[in-house]
Structures are given as C-alpha cells and as structure tokens.
Amino acid sequence: MPHKNPIHEAIERNVVRPALEKRKQAVEGSIMAVHYESQTARVYWRDPNSGREQESENVPLPADGNGLYRTTVEVGDRVTLAFRNGHLGNPYITNIYARSINYESKNGAGIPKGIGFL
C-alpha cells in the first residue's frame, strides 16, 4: 500500500523491504541421512538467493500428524524446509515428497557429500 508520507515511504523502502528480502523462505531439499534414534535428518538444499549449496545437520523429523509421519522419511526423499524466525540455524521439515523414480540405491546412507539434487 503506497504511503503519502515520505518518511513512511523511506522507512518501507530502506528498512522494511530489505529486512523481508533477507529472511529465508521455504526451500526444497533432499534427505541425505536419517537418524531415527535422535529423530533427526541431514538435509542437502540450495539457497535460492545465493545459489550456494547448503547442508543442514540435525533437522528434526516432522511430528506425526497432518499427513506427515516421521517414520516415512527415507534417504533420497525430497522435502520442503522452512526456517523458524527466518534463521538458517533453525530448519524444520514441512513437506515430504516420495523419492523420484530415478533414485535407486541399496546403500543410500553412503551418498557422497556435495552431490547435487537427485
């Protein structure tokens, strides 16, 4: 909504919009390892803003409910990650997608680090 007050416009343009653009939004990633004992996963993803490849350790598995079940998470699954309060250090899984038909591995846990999206 455009403001008629130049001070409000300057605050929105110079403070509010840049702050919102820096916040991390949901991204798509791949499960690289699952640790059922600790209920966490290692997730590989690409930052949509910088294009940098990222790997997040100890991402909590989703709580059972609303169609998500932590026991269904497997190596090779595609997931959507969101970040609590927009901080990269606080990822959590919001959606789980079945493994693609192109992904087949008997030793999924042995996928090398740095591999691109499957």
Integer Cα distance of 14 and 69 in angstroms: 42
Name the residue ranges covered by the structural domains of the chain.
24-104
- Domain 24-104, CATH number (from 2.40.50.230, 3.40.50.300, 2.40.10.220, 3.30.300.250): 2.40.50.230
pLDDT of the chain along its 118 residues, tens only? 566 788 888 888 888 877 766 666 788 899 999 988 888 999 999 887 777 888 999 999 887 765 665 667 888 888 888 888 777 788 988 888 866 544 444 445 555 555 544 4
Q: Please give the order of strands across the beta sheet that includes 27-35.
A: 53-60, 40-46, 27-35, 78-83, 91-97
pTM over 0.85: no
